[in-house]
Chains A and B, each alone.
Chain A
């Protein structure tokens, strides 16, 4: 599904990603961990097409397409979803309107018919239930006045609505209390299917108690320095990142 080869990217002249290689297949859940500043969020931003970052080298293939060649909106329409670490507020734009616009734009791209108002509302009810989100949330403006936890839950709700092939959750767990964490994790688990994939970017092993990854990767100084099964997360939790750093120096 996703093939990253030797990906290098920089921001304001500073190289953050220094040769990433990663393969993600359908049905898999990958966790990317690593100390602060190792490039985790940069990887998510680069894959989503954030223009603040410049790709200097490497390739990314997404379902046979050159991902880096697509505009951010076309990446989304191809089924790539990013759950933002800091979701932005869009005052005055209702969640309903926002989601309907997004969903129908994606459908149009794929040559599917737009949803009627009633079908859309039905889908929204259904997805809200699936990810266990207050119905009040969709009556409000996009993220406006949302608490940190509500914003993260709203990201998962949007993921449920758009049903992406590949979702990257950028520190969706940070700042969540245990209940919100459970809701987010349950949502991700319920949305899991053999034909989609998820990448979790996280600091803590805590989220991985709720969502069990098939692979854990450690990102350090812009490179993936270690990949293993879920047991790697426990090791990191126990020993911190220092031993990795030592191994690298």
Chain B
């Protein structure tokens, strides 16, 4: 622990974005721009079954009719969708038997990111589906999981090898025409992860996937689909880092989760895309559609997110509580610094009887950033005895940042019980001074206070991610006080 703290201190004093490097890997890219031919080419290169191409083209046609949403509390620069590369893949498509065959540079990249691919890290018990840009390069633990009938693979592979499953669930939670960015993703998604947990199986390890943007001007469009059959359980972790870039990069992912009777899915995210420099230049635009449907009775979906990165975050992980007695949870920490903008929150849609939802949102704003919570709690006519509790807290550091809360309630059933609590506070000079007087410097004091403030959310993360998340928060805030 002592060396752990030293390491943390060292990282805190490291002033620049630490994952801002660029690796040279031979890439196979399609020309910039988007049209039906590009979509056909993506589908062809991925050797997808026919239904996938149809899904993509249908989405593309819907997308053409749509406009970029402008209701969020964000200033979004105009994005030229014809100036983006929609497909990039490492040239030598690896069919690898061991880690030794992986491109050394790629491995070095993974090492810098600390992705647990090597033997030593396998001991840590994390199965990884690592993605560099578009193609999944290496998947570990597949055999162990396969013994239990669990499928954990890249989306492209799933489309080829389990077309029936993919066809059955793809687009059932987030329809291709759901919103502008979901439609775009549905048309051009490059890769992502597919998880299937069969009836009665409790996934024995945390499934984790790392995403990383790595080619200049390549928008990344991941697609993740998680299906948990009756009485199953899985915990899925997603962590993101991206290299430093001057040009803005678009990221529009879609995540769909389906839980059947008594199934439970826990989805945790630690997001650290490049946020832009201190002047607000560069940084990732992150427009994500994440939604889960508790289809079966007594099933549960829990979202936990720690968002510290991206220049712009537009993200509302949601739960559709369709089955009776289903539970939806949303735990969120969103930290913005410098010129970052975040508009994030959740939607809890109560459809079944005795459904419950819990929202715990902790916003932290520093620098000149803008941080908004936007949440919808909807109780439909037939959702008897629905319960919701929402807690939305905002913490301000300094006086040039903004925190905003936009709660929406649509209650159509008189038996519903909905509670909303909101607080806004500033880190007190007196709290910092108290820490100082005990020998803790201001930077560490802020880290300590902030980590205390977000504890409820961090506690939801698996242990190793919790540690990582705490470091991220501290690193992201350094230099913002005093």
A73 pairs with B434, CB closer than 8 A: no
Q: Interface readout for A48-88 with B: 1 if CB under 8 Å, 0 if not?
A: 11111000000000000000000111011100011010011
B449 pairs with A93, CB closer than 8 A: yes
* Interchain CA distance A106-B456 in the complex, whole Å: 29
Residues of B within 8 Å of A1, CB to CB, are: none
A72 pairs with B433, CB closer than 8 A: yes
Q: Does A158 contact B (CB under 8 A)?
A: yes
B445, closest chain A residue (CB)? A73
* Interchain CA distance A105-B438 in the complex, whole Å: 9
B437 pairs with A98, CB closer than 8 A: no
Q: Does B412 contact A (CB under 8 A)?
A: no
* Interchain CA distance A82-B439 in the complex, whole Å: 11
Q: Does B441 contact A (CB under 8 A)?
A: yes
| Given A50-B433, A90-B452, 18 additional A-B pairs, CB 8 A | A71-B436, A72-B436, A72-B437, A73-B441, A76-B439, A90-B448, A91-B453, A92-B452, A92-B454, A98-B435, A101-B444, A101-B448, A104-B2, A104-B5, A105-B440, A105-B441, A106-B439, A117-B1
Q: Does B13 contact A (CB under 8 A)?
A: no
Looking at the assembled complex, report how far the CB atom of B6 sits from the nearest CB atom of chain A, in whole angstroms: 8
A48-B454 contact given A93-B448, A114-B5, CB 8 Å threshold: no
Looking at the assembled complex, report how far the CB atom of B374 sits from the nearest CB atom of chain A, in whole angstroms: 24
B459, closest chain A residue (CB)? A92
* Interchain CA distance A77-B433 in the complex, whole Å: 14
A105-B444 contact given A88-B428, A93-B452, CB 8 Å threshold: yes
Looking at the assembled complex, report how far the CB atom of B252 sits from the nearest CB atom of chain A, in whole angstroms: 34
Contact of A116 among B2, B442, B444, B449 (CB under 8 A): B2
The 3 residue pairs across chains A and B that have the minimum distance between CB atoms = A92-B452, A93-B452, A72-B436
Looking at the assembled complex, report how far the CB atom of A23 sits from the nearest CB atom of chain B, in whole angstroms: 23
Q: Does A141 contact B (CB under 8 A)?
A: yes
Residues of B within 8 Å of A117, CB to CB, are: 1
Residues of B within 8 Å of A116, CB to CB, are: 1-2
Looking at the assembled complex, report how far the CB atom of B163 sits from the nearest CB atom of chain A, in whole angstroms: 48
Residues of A within 8 Å of B430, CB to CB, are: 88
A73-B456 contact given A88-B428, A90-B434, A101-B444, CB 8 Å threshold: no
A162-B438 contact given A88-B431, A104-B2, CB 8 Å threshold: yes
Residues of B within 8 Å of A91, CB to CB, are: 452-453
Q: Interface readout for B433-474 with A: 1 if CB under 8 Å, 0 if not?
A: 111111111101000110111111000000000000000000
Residues of B within 8 Å of A113, CB to CB, are: 2
A97, closest chain B residue (CB)? B448
Contact of A101 among B431, B434, B440, B456 (CB under 8 A): B440
B438 pairs with A49, CB closer than 8 A: no
* Interchain CA distance A97-B434 in the complex, whole Å: 15
A114 pairs with B436, CB closer than 8 A: no
Q: Which of A137-191 contact B (CB under 8 A)?
A: 141-142, 158, 162
Residues of A within 8 Å of B434, CB to CB, are: 84, 87-88, 90
| Chain B residues engaging chain A, CB cutoff 8 angstroms | 1-2, 5, 428-431, 433-442, 444, 448-449, 451-456
Q: Does A109 contact B (CB under 8 A)?
A: yes
* Interchain CA distance A90-B437 in the complex, whole Å: 14
Q: Does A244 contact B (CB under 8 A)?
A: no
Looking at the assembled complex, report how far the CB atom of A198 sits from the nearest CB atom of chain B, in whole angstroms: 16
B427, closest chain A residue (CB)? A90
Q: How large is the interface on A (under 10, 10 to 19, 20 to 34, 35 or more residues)?
A: 35 or more
B1 pairs with A102, CB closer than 8 A: no
Q: Interface readout for A216-240 with B: 1 if CB under 8 Å, 0 if not?
A: 0000000000000000000000000
| Max count, chain B CB within 10 A of own CB: residue among A48, A81, A93 | A93
B456, closest chain A residue (CB)? A92
* Interchain CA distance A102-B2 in the complex, whole Å: 13
B452 pairs with A73, CB closer than 8 A: no
Looking at the assembled complex, report how far the CB atom of B137 sits from the nearest CB atom of chain A, in whole angstroms: 39
* Interchain CA distance A77-B2 in the complex, whole Å: 18
A102-B455 contact given A50-B433, A90-B434, CB 8 Å threshold: no
* Interchain CA distance A13-B473 in the complex, whole Å: 38
| Max count, chain B CB within 10 A of own CB: residue among A49, A72, A97 | A72
Looking at the assembled complex, report how far the CB atom of B133 sits from the nearest CB atom of chain A, in whole angstroms: 38
* Interchain CA distance A51-B442 in the complex, whole Å: 13
* Interchain CA distance A71-B441 in the complex, whole Å: 9
* Interchain CA distance A162-B436 in the complex, whole Å: 13
B451 pairs with A93, CB closer than 8 A: yes
B455 pairs with A73, CB closer than 8 A: no
* Interchain CA distance A119-B187 in the complex, whole Å: 59
Looking at the assembled complex, report how far the CB atom of A70 sits from the nearest CB atom of chain B, in whole angstroms: 11
21 residue pairs bridging A and B, Cβ less than 8 Å apart: A50-B433, A51-B429, A72-B437, A73-B437, A76-B438, A81-B437, A88-B428, A88-B431, A90-B434, A90-B435, A91-B452, A92-B454, A93-B452, A97-B448, A98-B438, A102-B438, A105-B441, A106-B439, A113-B2, A117-B1, A158-B438
A90 pairs with B1, CB closer than 8 A: no
